[in-house]
Structures are given as C-alpha cells and as structure tokens.
Structure 1
C-alpha cells in the first residue's frame, strides 16, 4: 500500500535546519513540528493522543452507571479512523491498568463500498489484521448495499420502486445502478455519503450503541462545513460538525476534532503498527473545477489542504465557529426521506427553500404529502 507523500502533509523539520532540542521535554532532538513548536517524536505522539483522550473525557458527562458505554467506531482503514482506534485502544488499556475496568467499549464497524468478490476478500483479510492487532474490541463489516433495505428511508420519494424485497438481499449492482442514475459526480458522492451515514446509524441502534465516534479531523470538519453549506444542507451542521445528540436518537461525536489532518498523517506514518495497516489514498493532482468528475467535496478538500499548511488557525476557526450553530427545527419538523434529518416547516424540496430565508415567504406544507418530504440538499442531489 503506497503512502501519499505531499508537502502539505509533512510536519517534519527540514534536514537542512540545525539540530534543535524538543521544546516540550528539552531532552531529545526535535524532528517534528506541532503548529509552531519543534518537538521530538515522543512528545508529538503524546500530544496527539492527549488531544483525543481529553475530548473523549468530555463525552462522559454526568453518567453514573458502572456499565461501560458501547460506542460504534466506523473503520475505513484510512489514517484518521485507524489512528482513532489505535489511540482509544491505548486509552482503554490504561483504564484497565489503573482501575481494572473501562468506561466504554468499542464496536468497530467497516462498510465495504462497491466491492467485487476479490476486493471483499481483501477487505475481510485487512479487517482481520486490525482485529488481531487490537483484539479487545468487537468487529463486524457490512456492504453499503445493505442500506438499500433500511426501512427508515422513503425510497418512493426518490422515484425508486424496484428495490429488492426483504426476502432478497440487495447486491452491489443494485447500489451501483441507483448511484449511477444520479446526474452529477457531486450528487453521486452525496448519495453514497448519505447512505453510509444512515447505515452506520442503523447498525449502531440495532447493536445498542450510545453514540458513534467518527474519525473526522479539524481539517475534515472544516471541509464539511463549507461542503454541506454549498450542497444546501447547511441546516445539518449542528449535527455534522458538533459533538452531542442527534435527531437519529443516537450521539454523534468527533474525538479528533482538535487535530489537523497533516498531524494525523504524520502520526499514522510514524507509529507502529499503524504504518503497516493504514490504507493511504493517493493524493489527487491539481483538481479542475470545470471537470465533470470533480465534486464539491474534492474542491473543499484541496482548498483546506493548502490552507492548513500555512494557516492552520483559519481551519480551526472555521470549525470553532460552525460548532456554535444551534438547530432551528422544532416539533413541527419532519424527517427528510433520504438523510433523515429534520426539515423545518416550508423549507423542504428545491422550491420550498428557494434561497429565501424569510419564514413568511415560505410555502406551506399543507398540500405536500409527507411521503415526499426531502430537504433542499437531498432534493438537489436527486434532481441534479
């Protein structure tokens, strides 16, 4: 597995610079950089792990039960989710050593996307390697096509009526057929992301998990802030980028929210056994906004990759600001037929929103069937 190596992901000090002593321990040679501080490998690793563990501590709240929380951790085999698993495995081990018990347990779930039989076998083999390396947790995998049989999605509102029945398992071909029917690359990527989230929520609830721990970094959350806004789903940001309860009836948390992507890349590549487990995606070359295969997600990822290199505080400020947003929905809101998030009165569909944020000018829902409720973002994805 080839590792992505771009300048924007490097936080190593240049070999041409004179030897520096770590600014934190004042003992070892500094070979890495934390924002503007030169540090050694040991202090860098401790800094990254401490950030994640401190964030996990905030999720305990006023919970007095001695029964460990069951938390779902989606594992994509990429750097972020793999690092999160590695850090939390170490955190749980420390808890056992200190208190002979743990405050939570991990249910690790991998979702396969569009895999043929050969790829599925390779995916299962890699998941087994993770389980061998971190054996104290529960592991399972699903195919994304299983989202096609979720009862919580209103397929009729999407114009899809020929899905497999409950007695017949959906296939990856069924999934590809539906996704390929979308008119743009952004729409296709959006549908896949939405189905992935819905499947994870369903798996978490069926397995009695209290919340889902996503491996999104500061950089990824900043990307989502602008991406979801551009897609017309800005109303979802309180749940997409903030820690806490969600309309799905389950918590959505982001323990790596205080860590930059480039820091996670360095941590994963310099930490054993992560360097032998993680699947690194090849970084895209310059992305053309005019290309039909380019998605909004691609453009935002490229933008924030360049911003975090020289202006990491800007990336952090985007996330800090968007995390202050509060939901505007109330008891009259209804769930979107696709993403499942609550849609405020009169704002469903392309024409329901229309870009006008004046509540008095929004059309009433009186003549709209509840079976056809879609948020503006999902309406755009379905209709191009």
Structure 2
C-alpha cells in the first residue's frame, strides 16, 4: 500500500512554508528533495565515520571504504547490473557522458564518423559531442520528435548508416516527459555494431530500469535527482566498451604504478575514478537508492502515473495553457506556456508567491526549444512525494497568473 502521507513525513523540507504558504515542490526534474535517512547518513559519515577511502589501513578508513564501495553494489542492483565492476562512480550524468566522450569517443572516432542524437537531448548529452565535432571532425546527426513529443525509434534506426558509430539518446525527456523506446533502438544499433549511450538522468527516478534488458553500452545516472546528495552519481559501462577506453582524468587510485618514465593504469572501474571521490555523497546516494527500492520502483511509478493522469485532466481544463509533450505514456513532467505575452519567468514568480516551486527557462534543451519555436517554458515535474492536492494548488496558482496577465 503506497502511503504518500507517510512518505512525505520522511522529507523534512516538505513541512516548511514559502512566502507564508505551504511549500508545493514541483521542481523535481532539476533536483529532488532528500529524505531524513539520507540526511542522517551524511551527518553520521562526517561526524562519526569520516576518513579517506582505499588507501588507509586504520579502522575509520576501512569503514569508510566499506560503506563507499557498498554503494557500487547498490547502484548495480538498482540498474539491474550483475557485475558491479561495470559501475563507475562519479559526480553525475554530466561527468559520465564526458567520460564516454573523452575516454571512448576520442580514441575511437575519426573525422566523418557520425553520432546520432535526438532533438530533445539535455545539453549534457549534446555539448561533449560538439567537442568531438569541433576537435576531431565528428558529424552529429539529429532526429526530430513529432508534434506530440514522440521519438519514433524507427526514425532513429533509419538515421543509422555505415558511418554511424554512436547513438546517444535520452531515456526520458526532462522537458516533454516523453519515454523513449530505447530497447528497440539499442537492439538495432547492436545488430549494426553501433555503440549506444542512454541518458538515464530522468528515467531512473520515475520507473524501474534494467540496463541489461535495454541492451545499451552506457547508462549514466545523477544522484541529486534520485533523492540523494548533489555531487553523486554513476555510469554503467559495458565491459566490452571499457576495454576500448582510455582514462582522461589522471591522479590517485586510477594508477597501478607511477615512475619517472612510465605509468600503468589500474583496472576498470578504478581506472576512471581518479582522486579522492565524493565519499560522503556516494554513501548518501546508496542510502537514497535503498530508500527508493524499499518503497518499490513499481510502486513509485504507479503513484506518479496517477498524478500524471490527474494533472493532465486538470491542466487540459485550462484552455489558455499550452502544454508541450502530450504522448499518452509520458512521465509526470509538464512544460507549458500561457497564451499571450507572459514570460515563463514571470509565471514562475507568480507561482512562487503561492508557494509553488516550478522551473522556468530552456531547461538545458536549446535545440528542443528551437524545434518547438519557443524561447522558454515553465515546467512542473512531480516526484514520489507529490499529491493530487498539490496539483490543485498548481492549477489555482496558474489561474491567478492568467488573471494577472490576461
């Protein structure tokens, strides 16, 4: 039985007020709030258990190492990965994709090789490939979405050609809420010998994920969206791809031996984890993922689908509101504009006066905004702790904004 009231009690920030109103936090697509168990784990790690990992032989170092490394196994279980050595821990999706761009892309791609992206990718899954375009002559091919925000997997497959070396697509759009059929795309790419990266920043928050069933080569996730600390995250890397990669950040832990005229690398995944890591952040991430799995990812997904359906019904009743992304099975993410000249920033400011927190801007999706012919949208993104009552408060605040700007 999913008890959202009980879940909300686990998140202390949800009991506060903003501008004299109860906080309605609908900015989960940017970053989620933290449950008390994560906050406690972070406090305990700093107050009672802190030491550097891997290199010490004393009690605290061994304890910190054990807790830090246990997160690798938790992430593997969370993503349906059998071998935890295929999990590289880092600061989040941006670092994960850059690791692929520099560690795999630079050694393996040449001028004229093609990378396929969808038009709704986050900048984190665009800018690193532009580095390769500028510096190595790699060609970026774009696949559009239709008027509902749907990305046809057959369109992605049709774009694959003899020069295609990588397909990098989001699993779930952070603006449109579109869920992409990445399994079909990855299967077709694998049959053609094409490497695949699936951006899991949003999808891993809202639904069960099994990367081995998806069949991708890389799958990055971000901890702060998963109810964990900022500065935490990981990327799944298929071992076959790891063998084709070179480290691009040098320092401690990623080496085996260092001499004046020679350096030998550590084995993966350590080869891609240079320097002192975010020890406490990763410990907190492990607790956050355990918390989510304790509730059940299927249960979270079902709760958010009900919220999506309720929010869709309420928002559809506002004939002056334009929602971007209308695929039937989308996630509980709603990006919208108001008829007239009201800018997204102005709308967001009015909503904030009512205690409703939403995001306003381009949401790090410049190509998608160009495709939609928009400069910005407001975005309400829901999480495991949101309620139908909060949807009603969002609608009330939007009606106030409309009255003010009409």
Richer in strand (by share):
2
User: Whose relative contact order is higher, 1 or 2, with alpha carbons under 8 Å and at least 6 apart?
Assistant: 2
TM-score (norm 2): 0.29
Q: TM-score, normalised by structure 1?
A: 0.30
